[in-house]
Amino acid sequence: MSSLSRSGVFSGDMDQALARFSESISFDHRLFKQDIRGSIAHARMLAQQRIITDEEFSLIESELLKIQDKIERNEITFRIELEDIHMHIEQALIDALGDVGRKLHTARSRNDQIATDLRLWVRDGLDMIDKLLADLQRAFLSRCEQDAGVILPAYTHMQRAQPVLAAHYWLAYIEKLQRDRSRIADCRRRVNICPLGGAAVAGTSMPIDRQMTAELLGFEAVAANSIDISSDRDFAVESVFVLSLIATHLSGWAEEWILWSTTEFGFIKLPQAFCTGSSIMPQKVNPDTLELTRGKSARVIGNLQTLLTLIKGLPLAYNRDLQEDKPPLFDAFDTVIACLELAVPIVQGSVLQTESISRRLDQGYLDATALMEAMMLRGLPQRTAHHKVGALVAIAKEQKKSLVELSNEDFQKVDPSFDGDLLRKNLGIQGAVASYRSYGSSGPEHVAQQVSAWKKKL
């Protein structure tokens, strides 16, 4: 059977090599629900506008739902000569209803049809991603209570910097994920614009009601230019950019926890259900899920690059190049969804190695900044206090002591006016954490306020 798209001026069937080269049914079949949903809305509008009869609409709607059921049960065989999911569904409709089925494509083109299908699919995908991000936020939030009071070393330049509450660390990830959700919401607004009715490129002379189909499909607005409608893939590129940033955030988290799970760090124990062993070393518990999360971020970023390259030289309006937007788009969503689905139980099931962490918290002079600020509160300029604390750290390193273990004489070597007993009150990990006062800091009161606020928000 010739493809429906080969009718008209064509007198013969498509070359089989070209059929294999140009088909998209192998990947766009997953749009069948969106295609049928859009077709039913289109047919309902045609009936309201008296372009088809109410009886014809009822037959079309009923048969499209049957076709959807058949596809879900794998009872329809996909054939490359029918090219894409639109032609498969339409051919099945025509096989069942004859001329009534042929009326469905009135006042639309595959150009606005696929644009509609993709927007519906991306909108659903963004909603799923947003839900999973919220689940991951809640997983980190639950850890704030689970790890209450636990202190971790925070790092800059991968060097120990200052002590922070573990809950403050988890809140940092909640903030990152919230920015991701904000970008999804913003992107969704631009996705949620209805192209249906733009037809091939110039619109249609048929008396259609585009506002009606937009409302039936849950779109917030109607796309305003029929030329732009058929060529616009900004929404696909933008959504994959958003996914790329999510994947990058997940990759950074995975990298951190991979390091934390090593013997060298000894900060966290990962749930073994998400780890694997070695084929030769029986003692190994490898963080493969986190490594794959880190690795799969490259796929998502690569998909973004593919889409940007795909559209960079296309003239208006529709070009067949745009058929190639679906594999990278689908893969980006599939990959990020899979990573998020695994991230949630990993965050929930991991255990901080508090004994190992606390045993080494006094290493790295994490309280040096607190000591410097204590001096500043007593009138020393910041640069002067910075220099003097640096000198005290040098003495402590030479004596293999912590700052709190320095004697009064050691303090007075740096500055005769220093009262060691007084300054030592600001030293130690607990003292340093308790000293934080600024909004957004790791001070216990501020962290508790943030946890409470996120509980209400989530």
**Catalytic one among 157, 279, 417, 438?**
157
pTM: 0.93
At 1 the pLDDT is 36
Q: For domain 368-457, give the CATH superfamily.
A: Fumarase/aspartase (C-terminal domain) (1.10.40.30)
For 86-133, the pLDDT digits (tens) are 999 999 999 999 999 999 999 999 999 999 999 999 999 999 999 999
136: nearest Cα among 33, 253, 225, 233: 253
H or E stretch at 455: helix 444-457
Interval 9-23 mean pLDDT:
81
Give the pLDDT band of residue 214 (cuts 50, 70, 90): very high
Residue with tokens 């390091």, as numbered in its chain: 259
Report which DSSP code applies to 15: P
Q: Is the pLDDT score of 2 beyond 60?
A: no
For 139-193, the pLDDT digits (tens) are 999 999 999 999 999 999 999 999 999 999 999 999 999 999 999 999 999 999 9
For 22-70, the pLDDT digits (tens) are 899 999 999 999 999 999 999 999 999 999 999 999 999 999 999 999 9
CB 146 within 8 A of CB 347: no
The Cα-based distances of 99 to 103, 325, 413 in angstroms read 7, 33, 99
* Count of C-beta atoms within a 10 Å radius of residue 431: 17
Report which DSSP code applies to 12: S
- Judge whether 157 counts as a catalytic residue: yes
CA–CA distance, 43 with 240 (Å, rounded to integer): 31
CB 130 within 8 A of CB 43: no
- Judge whether 278 counts as a catalytic residue: yes
In sequence order, what DSSP letters do the residues of 88-135 get, joined into one string? Answer: HHHHHHHHHHTHHHHTTTTT--HHHHHHHHHHHHHHHHHHHHHHHHHH
At 317 the pLDDT is 95
CA–CA distance, 405 with 396 (Å, rounded to integer): 8
For 416-436, the pLDDT digits (tens) are 999 999 898 889 999 999 999
Q: For domain 15-106, give the CATH superfamily.
A: Fumarase/aspartase (N-terminal domain) (1.10.275.10)
At 425 the pLDDT is 84
Share of the chain above pLDDT 70, in %: 98
- Mean pLDDT, the chain, whole residue set: 95
In the chain, what's the furthest Cα-to-Cα distance? 101
Kindly list the domain boundaries of the chain, sorted by start residue: 15-106, 111-359, 368-457
Cα 399–402–406 angle (5° rounding)? 65
Cα 251–346–259 angle (5° rounding)? 50
In sequence order, what DSSP letters do the residues of 261-309 get, joined into one string? Answer: TSTTT--EE--GGG-B--SS-TT--B-HHHHHHHHHHHHHHHHHHHHHH
**Catalytic one among 58, 278, 358, 407?**
278
Interval 64-80 mean pLDDT:
97
Share of the chain above pLDDT 90, in %: 93
Q: Which CATH architecture has domain 111-359?
A: Up-down Bundle (1.20)
